[in-house]
A = this chain, B = another copy of it.
Amino acid sequence: MTKPSTICVLASASPARATTLRNAGIEPLIRVSAADEAAVLAAFDDRDGLQTQGKVHALARVKAEAVIPTLTVAELEDFAGQHGFDSAKAAIVVACDSMLEVNGELVGKPHSPARARERIRALSGQTVTLHTGHAVSLVRVKGETVSVEATRVKAVATDVHFTELTNAEIDAYIDTGEPLEVAGAFTIDGLGGPFIAGVTGDPHSVVGISLPLVRSIATELGVFWPSLWNRL
């Protein structure tokens, strides 16, 4: 078995994204940094349409850019030592942003049961599109500095087909609290799974991180995907 040699830094607080990486053999170094998302979105003029792909692109990029300057050689070396690496010479920084498009509107977290009910009723029996932007940067440790070698930003759109939910099912789902704090008021990897008839596209992107897209960008940046496996 080859030893891991590339650290994966996940620039996201989402437990679902971290779990998705872990299930794929990658324990990430999680680093969340405050990006000014409002400022990024203010640069878009909604009279030009939703521009969803542009928004998730820009937000993913700003999240990666906020995290990279905070990385230190010492913590990368610590992480490498704890997770079976021989050294900490290279890392990828992965940032994501997801937005759900429902009937030509962008939909975020519902926060309240009333809004969640309204949202889920609108999803029932429909096909909606989840857009997820990904920024992947290759960083290298040279001596005492961490420097960025390259960044690629790509977005993916996945259609999600909902079953019809009864009002009693919607009420029971909302009672669990799960839909309140997730974008679009549903999860595919939680209690919401049985309410999704299917997807067209990458199911992991619906959870929040497209594994095949991250692999494809990492490969473009010269990273051998299995060099990220640090939890086999």
Contacts and interface: CB of A to CB of B under 8 A. Distances in A.
Interface of A: 1-2, 20, 23-25, 158, 163, 168-169, 172-173, 175-176, 188-191, 193-204, 211-212, 214-216, 224-226, 229, 232
Contacts of A175: 1-2
A212 B194 contact: yes
B198 A158 contact: yes
Contacts of A201: 198-199
- 7 closest residue pairs by CB, A with B: A203-B203, A172-B226, A194-B211, A194-B215, A198-B202, A193-B211, A198-B201
Total identical chains: 2
A190 B1 CA distance: 17
28 contacts: A1-B175, A2-B172, A2-B175, A23-B189, A23-B190, A24-B190, A24-B194, A158-B198, A163-B212, A163-B216, A168-B226, A169-B224, A172-B226, A172-B229, A176-B232, A194-B211, A194-B212, A194-B214, A194-B225, A195-B212, A195-B215, A196-B202, A196-B211, A197-B202, A198-B199, A199-B199, A199-B200, A199-B201
